[in-house]
Amino acid sequence: VSFSQFGYQQSGSASASFTGIAGALGTVLSPHFAIEVRAGVGLDDDQITVGASPATVELDAYFSGLLKGILPLAPRFGIYGVAGATIGKFAAESNGLYVERWESDFTYGAGAEFGFAPNMSLGLEWLRMLEGSGYRLDAASLAFNFRF
């Protein structure tokens, strides 16, 4: 389970930030390689100004498939890089007009994970989740991982 702070930036407007929660399933294929799928939802929204109009933006949901390269630095600590793809559903409302849109893009990032028990760990991660024409979505996350 991870808790994320998302940063949404759109050219020509102020940035927005919102929080989210996600779950992940994956498998470690070797000490240096893993795969994961993630699904998450946004928990709130934020306001930006587009031109002269205020707009409320939010990330409704997202799904990611990631490959993870792991560099173990100690028996219970490692750093990693991830790359894959994300599809996310955005919603925006301005002056009574409501728009929903799915976006997808290449995703990449890096993180660190500390195992505090044989099957539990805490992780910190930064991701560039989506980037398109005039916008980008980044996430900084704190994760609690349970291996079964």
In order along the chain (148 residues), what is the average pLDDT of each group of 10 residues? 92 85 96 97 89 87 98 96 96 90 96 95 97 90 94
Rounded distance, CA 102 to CA 78, Å?
Answer: 34
pLDDT at 12: 74
Query: For residue 35, what pLDDT is reported?
Result: 98
Q: Looking at residue 78, what is its pLDDT? A: 97
pLDDT number for residue 101: 92
CA neighbours within 13 Å on the CB side: how many for 72?
10
SS3 45: coil
Cβ-proximal residues to 20 (8 Å cutoff; 6+ apart), any chain: 3, 4, 6, 40, 41, 42, 43, 59, 62, 139
Give dist(CA 134, CA 9) in Å, integer.
Answer: 8
Per the listing, tokens 């470690």 go with 28
- Burial (CB < 10 A; 0-12, 13-18, 19+), residue 118, is exposed
